[in-house]
């Protein structure tokens, strides 16, 4: 759920961001885009909607991944697409929190997503994963291959198991049928190392999720080091960064752990961070289908190099000399090593002996000085009788290449940063919304979608509706309540107003909230000021999403299937609430949290509607 805020950037800024990511010979020029197959559950920084919320439901226009894949393909038709589920809708497990009891159902669900990508968006999915960082089932993987083939999807390759090298490698060596259907072994955060069993399988080895590091100079150093050393130490021929672009509220988990930052659609501000230009050193001078040359890859004074060819005479060499303290990734821990300035001599043999000059691109990450030089073209290197020498300093990246196509493109400076608007309204009155979810709302449990309320001819035809009515097969501990966040985490004093409509008779309930302090994988422990009303005519004020810390309760007269207006006012250490414009409770003392987002949500996984949301902070 990391591209949430990208979709509602205004042009030209949105296209500029996408160009920096995907446009060939422009910026990061990415070769691979891996997306989540939304499953209605929390996947780190929010929930992504499923294409099948319920068994008899199919919709291939929800969320933002279809749009993102199309934008990537528009810029680079050759980009490889990968889909992987984190969570699944409840009906897949028929009541169990497990996707493999009915493997035919799960396979049908995943293949539907691939078919829908083609039918509705003309997208060809190249690779499909199993279940992100959770168990795999050999039976399910074989059935998935069978189901893909049955639907004419022989070209879709299977990657397993997006967790660790084991037990998948060991199982592939034991089970020849499984070995025949898994094309790539994908491991997460391998620390540039693989294991003997993985090598014995003779499969392609990928680091199918890596990086996940704050995108400053150290993050760039981490990325430079693993892009090379995943191959040099671990024989991995692809490295995939989580995440593409930091387009989610920064105070959610792993804030700014993207290759670049675009978390302010309301201002248009974004930042092309150093990892974008580190990426370019590899991606602008190689392509999927190029081969790594089997060189040793370790430099005498520390650091590493890789060499790749297209088999048609082109050669690209990428060198990195990242020091330990300037290239630590978020995980795993990095054992100490030293790098010193050195002179390195390279010898070109065989068909490369004839190369006379190499183009040179250079980056230096400036930690002490604070000013980095990123992706600059230097004078070409002359190759003399098949050899050349380079003086390498520490924390540098060099690309030497026969290709002359490299480019460092720049757009005009984006607008300056601005906080989220302190007076924000959304009446959800949009007949043909470009996306299924209202801008800036970041769902953390449940899914909140635009809804056309055909039964209401009055003021509430266009609303926002919570649509997940059974707890999904979860990846982490989703809350027992649904919640969507919005606004500025630094907000202290605020008034939140929203029209609400409880659909569940008897046990339904909804809330509006302020000073909400948590989300993502930590959503269960969210605190704040929550104003709840229930279908049984009661209300509550609680200091937490779980509803355990009760600050006030009483009768409200609210009933289901009627619209009501809730207002929550928080000033300093005191809160008060209004129902339909009249005071319902006041002078409730608030100790903490001292600041946070605004939010809306429901008591359980239940249908409920919201309209005319307004926050003033």
Q: The domain spanning residue 238 has which CATH number?
A: 3.20.20.80
Instruction: Read off the pLDDT of each residue in 406-424 and give the average, rounded to a whole number.
Output: 96
In this prediction, residue 371 carries a pLDDT of: 87
Rounded to whole angstroms, the Cα distance separating 539 from 536 reads: 9
pLDDT averaged over the chain? 97
Query: What is the tens place of the pLDDT at every residue in 391-414?
Result: 999 999 999 999 999 999 988 999
Among the listed residues 297, 343, 339, 344, the one whose alpha carbon sits nearest the alpha carbon of residue 321: 339
In this prediction, residue 218 carries a pLDDT of: 97
Rounded to whole angstroms, the Cα distance separating 91 from 395 reads: 51
CA distances from 144 to 98, 114, 358, 422, 600 (A): 16, 12, 46, 49, 38
Instruction: Say if 361 falls within a structural domain.
Output: no
Confidence bin at 601 (pLDDT 50/70/90): very high
In this prediction, residue 457 carries a pLDDT of: 77
The model's pTM is 0.98
In this prediction, residue 500 carries a pLDDT of: 98
Q: What is the β-pairing status of strands 462-466 and 608-616? A: antiparallel
390: CB partners within 8 A, 6+ apart: 319, 343, 344, 346, 381, 398, 400
Instruction: Say if 106 falls within a structural domain.
Output: yes
Instruction: Say if 385 falls within a structural domain.
Output: no
Q: Please state the φ and ψ torsions of residue 455, each to the nearest 5 degrees.
A: -80, -5
In this prediction, residue 509 carries a pLDDT of: 98
456 pLDDT higher than 80:
no
Query: What is the tens place of the pLDDT at every residue in 32-41?
Result: 999 999 999 9
Confidence bin at 361 (pLDDT 50/70/90): very high
Total domain count, the chain? 2
Q: How many CB atoms lie within 10 A of CB 341?
A: 12
Q: Domain ends where: 269, 291, 308?
A: 269
Rounded to whole angstroms, the Cα distance separating 16 from 24 reads: 13
In this prediction, residue 337 carries a pLDDT of: 98
Are 543 and 560 contacting, i.e. CB atoms less than 8 angstroms apart? Answer: no
Confidence bin at 115 (pLDDT 50/70/90): very high
Instruction: Say if 380 falls within a structural domain.
Output: no
User: Encoding tokens for residue 376?
Assistant: 């600059």
Rounded to whole angstroms, the Cα distance separating 410 from 62 reads: 32
Write the burial class of residue 421 (CB in 10 Å: 0-12 exposed, 13-18 middle, 19+ buried). middle
Instruction: Read off the pLDDT of each residue in 376-388 and give the average, rounded to a whole number.
Output: 98
Residue 288 CA, chain-centre distance (Å), reads 22
370 pLDDT higher than 80:
no
Instruction: Considering the candidates 36, 48, 71, 209, report the single residue annotated as catalytic.
Output: 209
Catalytic status, residue 209: yes
Residue with tokens 């790749």, as numbered in its chain: 308
Confidence bin at 223 (pLDDT 50/70/90): very high
CA distances from 3 to 73, 262, 330 (A): 17, 9, 20
Q: Domain ends where: 269, 297, 314?
A: 269
CATH of the domain at 560: 2.60.120.560
Instruction: Say if 279 falls within a structural domain.
Output: no
In this prediction, residue 368 carries a pLDDT of: 77
Instruction: Say if 274 falls within a structural domain.
Output: no
User: What is the percent of the chain where pLDDT is above 70?
Assistant: 100
- Domain, as residue range, for 29: 12-269
Instruction: Say if 452 falls within a structural domain.
Output: yes
Residue 144 CA, chain-centre distance (Å), reads 25
**Strand residues in 212-303 grouped as ranges (E):** 239-242, 261-264, 269-271, 291-292
In this prediction, residue 175 carries a pLDDT of: 98
Residue with tokens 């198991």, as numbered in its chain: 161
In this prediction, residue 235 carries a pLDDT of: 98
Instruction: Say if 357 falls within a structural domain.
Output: no
- H helix or E strand, kind and range, residue 70: helix 65-75
Are 249 and 265 contacting, i.e. CB atoms less than 8 angstroms apart? Answer: no
Confidence bin at 327 (pLDDT 50/70/90): very high
In this prediction, residue 464 carries a pLDDT of: 98
Crossing angle for the helix pair 103-121 and 138-150, to the nearest 10 degrees: 40
Query: What is the tens place of the pLDDT at every residue in 237-284?
Result: 999 999 999 999 999 999 999 999 999 999 999 999 999 999 999 999
Rounded to whole angstroms, the Cα distance separating 156 from 159 reads: 10
Q: Domain ends where: 269, 288, 322?
A: 269
Q: What is the β-pairing status of strands 127-128 and 157-163? A: parallel
In this prediction, residue 516 carries a pLDDT of: 98
In this prediction, residue 458 carries a pLDDT of: 86
In this prediction, residue 474 carries a pLDDT of: 98
User: Encoding tokens for residue 246?
Assistant: 């930091």
128 pLDDT higher than 80:
yes
Instruction: Considering the candidates 133, 251, 503, 616, report the single residue annotated as catalytic.
Output: 133
């Amino acid at each position: 759920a990391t591209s949430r805020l990208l979709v509602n950037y205004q042009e030209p800024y949105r296209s500029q961001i996408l160009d920096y990511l995907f446009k060939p010979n422009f910026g990061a020029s990415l070769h691979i885009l891996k997306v989540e197959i939304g499953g209605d559950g929390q996947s780190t920084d929010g929930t992504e909607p499923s294409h099948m919320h319920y068994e008899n439901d199919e919709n291939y226009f929800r969320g933002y991944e279809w749009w993102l894949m199309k934008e990537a393909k528009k810029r680079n038709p050759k980009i490889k697409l990968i889909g992987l589920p984190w969570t699944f809708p409840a009906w897949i497990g028929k009541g169990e929190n497990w996707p493999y009891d009915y493997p035919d159902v799960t396979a049908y669900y995943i293949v539907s997503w691939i078919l829908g990508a083609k039918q509705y968006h003309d997208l060809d999915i190249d690779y499909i994963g199993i279940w992100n960082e959770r168990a795999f089932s050999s039976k399910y993987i074989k059935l998935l291959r069978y189901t893909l083939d049955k639907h004419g999807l022989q070209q879709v390759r299977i990657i397993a198991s997006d967790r660790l090298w084991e037990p998948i490698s060991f199982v592939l060596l034991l089970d020849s049928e499984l070995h025949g259907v898994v094309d790539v072994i994908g491991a997460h955060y391998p620390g540039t190392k693989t294991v003997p069993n993985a090598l014995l399988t003779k499969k392609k080895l990928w680091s199918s999720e890596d990086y996940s590091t704050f995108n400053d100079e150290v993050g760039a150093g981490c990325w430079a080091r693993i892009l090379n050393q995943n191959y040099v130490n671990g024989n991995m021929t692809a490295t995939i960064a989580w995440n593409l672009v930091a387009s989610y509220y920064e105070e959610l988990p792993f804030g700014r752990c993207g290759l670049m930052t675009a978390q302010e659609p309301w201002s248009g501000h974004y930042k092309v961070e150093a990892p974008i230009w580190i990426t370019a050193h590899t991606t602008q001078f190689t392509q999927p289908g190029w081969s790594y040359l089997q060189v040793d890859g370790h430099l005498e004074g520390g650091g590493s190099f890789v060499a790749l060819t297209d088999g048609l005479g082109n050669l690209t060499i990428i060198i990195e000399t990242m020091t330990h303290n300037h290239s630590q990734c978020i995980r795993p821990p990095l054992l100490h090593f030293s790098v010193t300035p050195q002179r390195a001599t390279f010898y070109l043999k065989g068909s490369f002996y004839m190369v006379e000059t190499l183009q040179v691109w250079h980056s230096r990450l400036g930690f002490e000085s604070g000013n980095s030089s990123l992706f600059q073209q230097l004078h070409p290197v002359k190759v003399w009788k098949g050899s050349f020498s380079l003086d390498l300093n520490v924390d540098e990246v060099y690309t030497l290449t026969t290709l002359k196509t490299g480019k460092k493109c720049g757009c005009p400076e984006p607008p300056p940063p601005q906080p989220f608007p302190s007076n924000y309204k959304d009446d959800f009155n949009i007949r043909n919304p470009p996306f299924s979810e209202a801008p800036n709302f970041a769902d953390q449990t449940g899914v909140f979608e635009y809804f056309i309320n055909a039964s209401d001819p009055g003021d509430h035809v266009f609303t926002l509706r919570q649509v997940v009515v059974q707890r999904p097969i979860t990846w982490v501990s989703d809350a027992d309540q649904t919640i969507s966040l919005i606004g500025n985490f630094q907000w202290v004093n605020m008034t939140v107003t929203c029209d609400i409509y409880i659909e569940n008779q008897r046990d339904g309930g909804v809330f509006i909230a302020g000073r909400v302090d948590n989300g993502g994988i930590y959503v269960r422990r969210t605190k704040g000021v929550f104003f709840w009303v229930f279908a049984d005519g009661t209300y509550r004020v609680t200091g937490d999403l779980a509803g355990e810390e009760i600050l006030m309760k009483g009768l409200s007269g609210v009933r289901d299937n009627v619209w009501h207006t809730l207002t929550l006012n928080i000033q300093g250490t005191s809160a008060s609430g209004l129902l339909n414009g009249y005071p319902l409770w006041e002078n409730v003392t608030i100790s903490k949290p001292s600041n946070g987002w605004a939010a809306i949500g429901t008591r359980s996984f239940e249908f409920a509607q919201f309209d005319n949301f307004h926050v003033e902070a």
